A = this chain, B = another copy of it.
Amino acid sequence: MKSGPVEYAVEAAEHDSSSSSSPRRGLSILDFVIRVAAFVGTLASGIAMGTTDQRLPFFTRFIQFKAEYDDLPALTFFVAANGVVSAYLLILGMPLSVLHIIRTGVTKSRVLLIIFDTVMLALLAAAASAAASIVYLAHKGNPKTNWLAICQQFRFFCRRISGSLIGSFGAMVLLAALIILSAIAVSRRPRG
């Protein structure tokens, strides 16, 4: 009867890991799918914004007759942040997510992903909102500060920079979902 407790413990551990690895694997697959979607969103946003420029065929009362994304620092920051987040998702996020599908028991690398995801969420939210506030100003202007809307002159430019915000805001929601999913997965971890 000496081996009784050990047998009991081993049995309990086996039962445990088989009952809790299945929902964990499901969460890991969902995690990977969301990561791919967020990668596509940030990459598309970055490229759409980064390739935006418009030349006008005539002179306006302003001196310039050409609008590019890097005329506005907030839009440059937007392109850089989207590049950083999509690179992170491709190089670190998606490989680790695949590892979690194969090995459901690991916990440390899940916590690592939560840390990176949190930083990336803050970066992306900051970039998307800074760009959005400038895009809003370009559309509406602000009479109180005498900043005039520029979208009358640069229709194509404005449509492009407005559209490129969508992917980024979508990716922001997806990154928040990833953090929440990871937290649930970590809280359900089988006792190793």
Q: Which of A30-38, A41-49, A85-93, A110-118 contacts B (4 or more CB under 8 A)?
A: A110-118
Residues of B within 8 Å of A67, CB to CB, are: 144
Interface positions, chain A 118-140, Cβ under 8 Å from B, are 118-119, 121-123, 125-134, 136-138
Flag A156-192 by CB within 8 Å of B: 1 or 0 each.
0000000000000000100010011011101101010
Total interface residues in chain A, CB < 8 Å: 55
- By beta carbon, the residue of chain B nearest A141 is B147
Q: Describe A's contact surface by its main secondary structure.
A: helix
Q: What copy number does this chain have within its complex?
A: 2
- Spell out A's residues near B (CB within 8 Å): 1, 4-5, 8-9, 12, 62, 64, 67, 71-74, 107-108, 110-111, 114-115, 118-119, 121-123, 125-134, 136-138, 142, 144-148, 150, 172, 176, 179-180, 182-184, 186-187, 189, 191
